[in-house]
Copies of this chain bind each other. A is one copy, B any other.
């Protein structure tokens, strides 16, 4: 965890709380629970995905072994709970633990769907959106809700913040799918085309499979599930299908829909607009990375 990362989730908790209070001190430790939990999921997910690197360093199972990744992940989940029950006021604790546990189970369920999808011949776009909502978006929603609840926000406001976070999370993940295909290699930080090479069932691929005609289906079928002999040729060919089908503007339209839906929830939070400026700007930053 010392390697950093964006620390987006605790930031969301603090910004969610800052809508309702200027005293963020009591929120810091509970906010860390979201980051420890997120890192627990990364340790276990990297093992399941057999990923060699995380944040430019060997993953836990690579540096040590699979058992160490399983057990240290398990203990990180315990530590996330500890950060909550040691630092959340008793009156709020049952509610916070209930929502945290629900979110935690959903994140695991999302990862299970993601793993299952690898084995399945067909995945619908609705299934895919459900999966990324569980795997990625609900934790961003919970992080914001946590900040609101700890800052004494009315229940309706906490709920709007949760939905804001979930919608932004969906937009964020779709943006990630898009950047993987159309991103700038200099700024993306991962190999552009990595999802295409791995036959990853992203929103872009599933949409192309749903909308493509016989020739486009044949092109996708020629490359999917086959050993990669020429990586650049595969990336070029799949991207050409995406271009023909206008997958990029379709994806951008869906990203914008989630983004706008999220902003509507943020607008409905009953605090002055000026207090929401930091959150709105963070959401924009998350979604305005250059494609």
Number of copies of this chain in the oligomer?
A: 2
Q: Quick one: CB contact mask for A98-112 with B, threshold 8 Å, 1 for yes?
A: 100100110011011
Are A112 and B77 in touch, CB under 8 angstroms?
no
- CB contact between A70 and one of B48, B68, B94, B105 (< 8 Å): that residue: B48
Are A90 and B81 in touch, CB under 8 angstroms?
no
Across the two chains, which residue of chain B brings its CB closest to A115?
B67
| In the bound complex, CA of A89 to CA of B104 (Å) | 23
A97 within 8 A of B: yes
Across the two chains, which residue of chain B brings its CB closest to A74?
B108
Contacts of A79-123 to chain B: CB distance below 8 A: 79, 81-82, 85-86, 90, 93-94, 97-98, 101, 104-105, 108-109, 111-112, 115
A75 within 8 A of B: yes
Cβ distance A34 to chain B, nearest Cβ, rounded Å: 15
A168 within 8 A of B: no
A237 within 8 A of B: no
Question: Which 7 residue pairs spanning A and B have beta carbons closest together?
Answer: A48-B67, A85-B97, A67-B115, A78-B104, A71-B108, A71-B112, A75-B108
